[in-house]
Amino acid sequence: MVERIRNPKDLAALRERSVREQQLRAGARDVRVTVHMGTCGIAAGASDILVCLMEELASAGAENVTIHRSGCAGLCQQEPMMTVEDASGRSVCYGRLTADKVRQVVLEHIVGGQPVADFTVRT
């Protein structure tokens, strides 16, 4: 969703958020999160999920995370989706995401190290 900048305060807030988001993307990290952004994912709300993910990671102070975007994962009925891969290479795919589910995945899996079984996609 595109935000309108109506005053200098909005511009400053956008700049601050953009700087935090860039810091999340830079450098080698322990955790890699991929948000699936194919046409089906975008139609299901993946853009909002990506924004929510970046905000939640910044709020949690999770500096060990790299965020990536990819195309469709081939499970359109599960969109919006994201995959979390830890330093050991273990991947967990989450589907039918909402802002609340993203918050829980960030806190429990990305920060806490425990996958959230209720939201995983079984392939």
Please tell me which residue, 122 or 105, carries the higher pLDDT value: 105
Nearest to 62 by CA among 113, 12, 100: 113
pTM: 0.76
So what's the pLDDT on residue 18? 82
So what's the pLDDT on residue 4? 86
Contact 87, 81 (CB under 8 A): no
What distance in Å separates the CA atoms of residue 24 and residue 100, rounded to the nearest whole number?
20
In a domain, residue 5? The reply is no
How many domains is the chain partitioned into structurally?
1
So what's the pLDDT on residue 26? 58
Nearest to 25 by CA among 48, 1, 57: 57
What distance in Å separates the CA atoms of residue 17 and residue 42, rounded to the nearest whole number?
21
So what's the pLDDT on residue 64? 86
Domain span at residue 36 reads 28-119
For residue 98 the two structure tokens come to: 């909402």
So what's the pLDDT on residue 43? 97
In a domain, residue 10? The reply is no
In a domain, residue 103? The reply is yes
In a domain, residue 67? The reply is yes
Q: What is the pLDDT of residues 96-113, one digit of tens each?
A: 999 999 999 999 999 999
What distance in Å separates the CA atoms of residue 38 and residue 97, rounded to the nearest whole number?
15
Q: Starting at the edge strand that comes first in sequence, how are the strands of the sheet with 82-85 ordered?
A: 65-70, 31-36, 82-85, 91-94
In a domain, residue 33? The reply is yes
Q: What is the pLDDT of residues 16-74, one digit of tens each?
A: 888 777 766 655 568 999 999 999 999 999 999 999 999 999 999 988 898 999 999 99
